[in-house]
Amino acid sequence: MRDRQAQAPRQDGDSGIENVISYLFYQCPMVERPRGTRDLTPEDMAKRRYVLDSIRRISDSFGFREIATPTFENAELFILRSGPDIVDQMYVFKDKKDRELALRPELTASVVRFFLAELKNYPKPLKLYYLGNCFRYERPQKGRYREFYQYGAELIGGKPLDSDAELIDLAMSVIRGVGLKNAVLRVGNIGILRKLLEESSDILACLRSISTENFDELSSLLAKNGLSDIEDTILSLAKLKGPDVLDEARNLVGDKAIEEVDYLETLGGVLKNLGMENIQYEPGMVRGLDYYTGMVFEIDCPNLGAEKQVMGGGSYSLADLLGGEPIFSTGFAFGVDRMVLALEAEDYSFPSRGLDVYVIPIGDSMREKAMGVLKTLRENGFSADMDLVGRGPSKNLDYANAVGAKKAIFAGEDEWSRNSVSVKDMESGEQTDVPIDQLIDALSK
């Protein structure tokens, strides 16, 4: 604990900034991080950056283009369509002009708002992706936070089968591309349940009771709508999970939703042609957000335990619901924090983001020359740093090790008089003299 009393700020002669710093350090009460939020260390951020770089590379390779939307929106946007679970968890606040705003709990609603306002005349299909933080007032635990990071993609205005297949292919390519080995792809079609329930005036409430497995509530909702005869079918569908369950699903739903089951089978065929094995079909899958209308899918990383779902998505007609023309859309959202946790659980060896080069001047007389070397390295695209505290060579090597430098360069008077510096490979320990005019070439090899 810091001794706050003992080190109160000086009153005389302090500059303004010194006073502020003293106040923060010695007088200001320790303010804790809000529950459910995270501080990320440089190591944590390096892992996140690795995942985000992979995501961008793979999404770009599929022809998706990155966009960004605001972190807060008019609360109404989410209240309109994000589904009651998410609305209950929203951070809502009033601004100084009494407008009701919300920190975004998800990004799809924002993307569709953006699409309707500004992007709808772009050539179709529109393939968009985005990365950003989301906020939900949840019960925090490992893998479940109140501020978390999502990667999402939306494909707007394509044909259903091709779009759904393209999107699932992107999701699985991201899983493989970041290096995750243990992931289970589960695919359903919420169109099946919607078709079975189309005569009910409580479709959304019924779907919610299925998704929360509140089957007593489902039973009373069906009875209220005179649909008790389909209760057994729905209960059996909800349990149906596996690679070979589609014939059984067809038998269960009969003519009523046969096309929706067929769609799932055709989609599965396309996915298999794209190299996806072990697809788990869940014809009774319901996802949390109310706006899904067709294919729904999730990816789990079983190593994560309770919070194992790393991705969820499906096709929807949100544009229809927000007042635009009905246009086929399909999208997904990954939890980036969970992707990092899943990689850690698989002992993935993240690429090092350490420094390329650490420059060590031997003695004060060499500082200026070392700074010249540092500048040249940086200008040539190397990540490079230099001793800023005047340590001796061996302490400097310890520091270079601690920050993960790949090479250390000693700038000493002897070598310099021969127009050289000494380059040490931090991994092998090998050290060689390199002429200064060949340094960039030598380090590039």
Which parts of this chain interact with ligand AMP (CB under 6 A)?
106, 136, 138, 143-145, 148, 150, 288, 309-312, 333, 335, 337-338
Helix (H) or strand (E) holding 347: none
Residue-by-residue DSSP string for 251-284: HHHGGGGHHHHHHHHHHHHHHHHTT---PEE-TT
Alpha-carbon distance of 244 to 241, in angstroms, equals 8
Strands 72-74 and 100-103: antiparallel
Longest dimension (CA), the chain: 95
**DSSP codes joined into one string, 310-337:** EEEEEEE-HHHHTTS----EEEEEEEHH
DSSP state, residue 201: T
CB closer to ligand AMP out of 127 and 136: 136
Q: Least distance to ligand AMP from the beta carbon of 89, Å?
A: 8
Q: Are 339 and 360 in contact (CB under 8 A)?
A: no
- Which is nearer to ligand AMP, 143 or 188 (by Cβ)? 143
Q: Would you say 342 or 411 has its CB closer to ligand AMP? A: 342
CB of 155 to ligand AMP, least distance (A): 16
CB of 92 to ligand AMP, least distance (A): 17
Report the distance separating Cα 23 and Cα 121, nearest Å.
Answer: 54
**Closer Cβ to ligand AMP, 306 or 402, answer by number:** 306
114 vs 148 by CB, closer to ligand AMP: 148
CA separation for the pair 187, 261 (Å, rounded): 11
- Minimum CB–partner distance for residue 303 and ligand AMP (Å): 14
Tell me the closest approach of the beta carbon of residue 69 to ligand AMP, in angstroms. 15
Classified as helix, coil or strand, 382 is coil
Q: Least CB distance from residue 182 to ligand AMP, whole Å?
A: 15
Closest CB to ligand AMP among residues 150, 200: 150
Report which of 294, 225, 306, 224 is spatially closest to residue 260, judged by C-alpha positions.
294
**Alpha carbons 172 and 415: distance in angstroms, whole number:** 53
Closest distance to ligand AMP from the beta carbon of 233 (Å): 26
Which tokens belong to 256?
A: 């009523």
Q: Which residue is nearest to ligand AMP (CB)?
A: 335
Of residues 250 and 338, the one with the C-beta less far from ligand AMP = 338
What does the block give as tokens for 368? Answer: 């200026």
Nearest to 154 by CA among 173, 128, 133: 128
CB nearer to ligand AMP: pick between 333 and 357: 333
Closest approach, Cβ 45 to ligand AMP, in A, equals 17
Provide, rounded to whole angstroms, the least separation between the CB of residue 78 and ligand AMP. Answer: 11
Closer residue to ligand AMP in complex, CB, 142/418:
142
- Written as six digits, the tokens of 429 are 């320990």
* Secondary element (H or E) of residue 104: none
